[in-house]
Amino acid sequence: MSGTALVVAEIHAGRLAPATAEAVGVARSLGLTVIGFAAGSDAGSAAAEFGALGVTEAFAVPDPRLDTAPSGARIGSIRQALSASNATTVLTVGTALGRDLVGHLAIAWDAAAATGVTEVVATGEGFRVRRPIFGGRATETRLLAGGHFALAIRPHAFPPAAGGANPCTVRELPAGELAPGLLAARRTGVSAAAAGAGPGLTDASIVVSGGRGVRAPENFHLIEELAAALGAAVGASRAVTDAGWRPTSLQVGQTGRAVSPQLYIAVGISGAIQHLVGMISSRVIVAINSDASAPIFKVADYGIVGDLFQIVPALTAEIRRVRGL
């Protein structure tokens, strides 16, 4: 397999999300020439950031209408970039946007499609991909074949592309004609996940989640302080979000978000299957719980049985100490 891959940028707060660097790394490890693609009002500067990842060519679609239109509105310009670059593979990140794009391209571009990919190798006909399924309770290997491929990688599953200092030549593309239906749907507001603007849950390489054991919303700052010391994202179990202690957007689990960070710290979370399927594919899991028989200790790598109101502040202090904060 050789050829060209278009890496579609995930843009957070105007900048390339870290996982985009991972997608570039994957494309390069497959021996593909990488061309960047960024869309939305920040497209120009985000596309230029591909240079820092050693990518010398990128497309930008700096049309602000794309900021407030559904994902499908990007397909026209992605297809233009694909024809202009002769790319046969699209690589993106397994976020809400990235997965949407893969689903659209599977039809619009007749691509073999896979999301949540954690390993990928080239074969004669295409790619062999591995992806966790059943909430990390199993793994499947699939063979993708055909002329076009669209893959969304799972964040943190691959090393980011090594840096470079190449200037990146950015070519602007128009968004093209957008169907009236796409323009009629409008984003009318955004509320940031947390005012402190730590890393997003799926972006974060460390996640600290609090559960029922935290007992009351006014105690949740213990979780947030530990997360801040670690530069981690804050998550919560369903018990916490259902009780309204924290917003639903922080929920990790079957009805919330699935995360796979390098380190997941579960505090005061018993470990119902509903929660486990959202975090079990994390690389290292730490559990802090007062109940030694809590099921979370069966899936954790390291456990501390104890009172979180004592352990967590001590842990926050120790992390601040070693990190010189």
Partner 1 sequence: MEIVVCVKPVPESETRLRPTGDGRSLDPEAVKFVLAGYDESAVEQALLLKEAIPGSKVHAVAYGVAPRTEEVLRSAIALGCDAATWIDAGEETSGDPIVAARALGGLIRTLPHDLVLCGKQAGDDESGLVAAALGELLEVPEFGSVVDLRWDAATGQFRFQRSVEAGTEIWTAATPLIVGLQQAWNDPRTAKLPAILKSRKATIARATPTAAGGGRSSPERFELPPPRTGAKMIEYRTPEEAAQKLVRILREEAKVFP
Binders of partner 1 among residues 274 to 303 (CB under 8 A) are 274, 277, 283-287, 297-303
Min separation Cβ 281 and partner 1, Å: 9
DSSP assignment letter at 224: H
Report CA-CA distances (Å) from 174 to 73, 75, 177, 310: 12, 12, 9, 57
239 binds partner 1 (CB under 8 A): no
Which among 8-16, 45-53, 80-88, 216-224 is the span making contact with partner 1, rule CB under 8 A?
8-16
64 binds partner 1 (CB under 8 A): no
Min separation Cβ 57 and partner 1, Å: 26
- Cα dihedral 295→239→305→208 (10° resolution): 100
7 binds partner 1 (CB under 8 A): no
Give the Cα separation of 268 and 266 in Å (integer): 7
Stretch 133-172 residues interacting with partner 1 (CB under 8 A): 133-146
Stretch 69-88 residues interacting with partner 1 (CB under 8 A): 70-72, 75
Cβ-proximal residues to 311 (8 Å cutoff; 6+ apart), any chain: 288, 304
Of 321, 287, 29, 16, the C-alpha closest to 157 is 29
Q: Which of 206, 223, 236, 240 binds partner 1 (CB under 8 A)?
A: 206
- The three-state secondary structure class of 180 is helix
Give the Cα separation of 253 and 297 in Å (integer): 17
Stretch 175-204 residues interacting with partner 1 (CB under 8 A): 179, 181-182, 184-194, 200-203
Helix 308-322 vs helix 221-230: angle between axes, to the nearest 10 degrees? 20
Q: Which of 111, 120, 208, 267 binds partner 1 (CB under 8 A)?
A: 111
- The three-state secondary structure class of 92 is strand
- How many chain residues touch partner 1 (CB under 8 A)? 102
DSSP assignment letter at 72: G
224 binds partner 1 (CB under 8 A): no
Q: Which of 29, 41, 219, 255 binds partner 1 (CB under 8 A)?
A: 255
Residue 214 contacts residue 268 (beta carbons within 8 Å): yes
* φ, ψ at 308 (rounded to 5°): -60, -25
Which among 124-132, 157-165, 169-177, 213-221 is the span making contact with partner 1, rule CB under 8 A?
124-132
Q: Which of 230, 234, 236, 252 binds partner 1 (CB under 8 A)?
A: 230
Is 298 exposed, middle or buried, given 0-12, 13-18 or 19+ CB atoms closer than 10 A? exposed
Q: Which of 1, 52, 108, 122 binds partner 1 (CB under 8 A)?
A: 108
Nearer to partner 1, 170 or 182 (CB): 182
Q: Which of 1, 52, 122, 304 binds partner 1 (CB under 8 A)?
A: 304
Residue 164 contacts residue 51 (beta carbons within 8 Å): yes
